[in-house]
Amino acid sequence: MLLNTLKKLPHNILFNKPLSLFSSSMSLQQDEAKAHWNSKASTYKDSYETLTLAPAITLANMLEIQKSQDIIEVACATGIFTLHLLRNLTNTKTFTSVDISDQMIELAKARKAATEGINHDIKHEFFVGDAENMSFIQDEAVDVYVSSMCIHMVPDESKFLQEAKRILKKGGRIGLTVPSKENGLMGLFLKNFEDNGWKSPFPKDYNALGYRDVMIKLLQDNGFEVRFCWEDHMKLPYYEDSDIDNQLTNGPMGGIYGGFDQETKKKVRDNVLKEFHEIKKQFIPFQMKTVAIVAQKPL
Ligand SMILES: C[S@@+](CC[C@H](N)C(=O)[O-])C[C@H]1O[C@@H](n2cnc3c(N)ncnc32)[C@H](O)[C@@H]1O
How many structural domains are present in the chain?
A: 1
What's the gap in Å between 164 CA and the centre of ligand 1? 15
Nearest ligand 1 atom to the CA of 78 is 27
What's the gap in Å between 116 CA and the centre of ligand 1? 25
99 — alpha (psi -120 to 50), left (phi > 0) or beta? beta
Q: Which of 71, 100, 186 to mutate to test the pocket of ligand 1 (most atoms within 8 A of CB)?
A: 100
CATH number at residue 211: 3.40.50.150
Q: What is the reported pLDDT for 16?
A: 28
CA–CA dist 33, 44 (Å, integer): 15
* 25-49: average pLDDT: 77
Share of the chain above pLDDT 70, in %: 86
Supply the Cα-derived Rg of the chain in whole angstroms.
19
CB of 233 closer than 8 Å to CB of 288: yes
Q: Which of 24, 27, 99, 162 to mutate to test the pocket of ligand 1 (most atoms within 8 A of CB)?
A: 99
CA–CA dist 221, 205 (Å, integer): 20
Q: What is the mean pLDDT of the chain?
A: 84
Q: Which ranges of 45-128 does DSSP label H, i.e. alpha helix? A: 49-62, 80-88, 102-113
CA–CA dist 1, 30 (Å, integer): 11
Q: What does the pLDDT look like over 156-187, one tens digit per residue? A: 999 999 999 999 999 999 999 998 877 677 77
Determine which of 12-21, 107-116, 205-214, 236-245 has the lowest per-residue pLDDT on average: 12-21
* Pocket of ligand 1 from Cβ distances under 6 Å: 33, 37, 48-49, 52, 56, 74-75, 77, 98-101, 104, 130-132, 148-150, 153-154
Q: Is residue 297 scored above 90 in pLDDT? A: yes
What is the signed CA dihedral for 168, 173, 179, 180, rounded to 10 degrees? 130
* 225-251: average pLDDT: 84
Q: Is residue 98 scored above 90 in pLDDT? A: yes
Nearest ligand 1 atom to the CA of 130 is 20
Q: Is residue 13 scored above 70 in pLDDT? A: no
CA–CA dist 128, 75 (Å, integer): 10
Instruction: Using the CB atoms, write b or e for 101-117: b if 16+ within 10 Å.
Output: bebbbebbeeebeeeee
Q: Is residue 4 scored above 70 in pLDDT? A: no
What's the gap in Å between 150 CA and the centre of ligand 1? 5
What's the gap in Å between 245 CA and the centre of ligand 1? 23
Quick one: pLDDT band at residue 18, thresholds 50, 70, 90? very low
CA–CA dist 53, 113 (Å, integer): 20
Q: Is residue 138 scored above 70 in pLDDT? A: yes
Determine which of 24-38, 102-116, 139-153, 232-246 has the lowest per-residue pLDDT on average: 24-38
Residue type, 207: N
Cα 83 to the chain's mean position, in Å?
A: 17
Element containing residue 189 per DSSP (H, E): helix 184-195
Quick one: pLDDT band at residue 263, thresholds 50, 70, 90? very high
Q: What is the reported pLDDT for 251?
A: 78
Range of the domain at 145: 2-296
Q: Of residues 26 and 126, which shows the higher confidence score?
A: 126
Q: Is residue 31 scored above 80 in pLDDT? A: yes
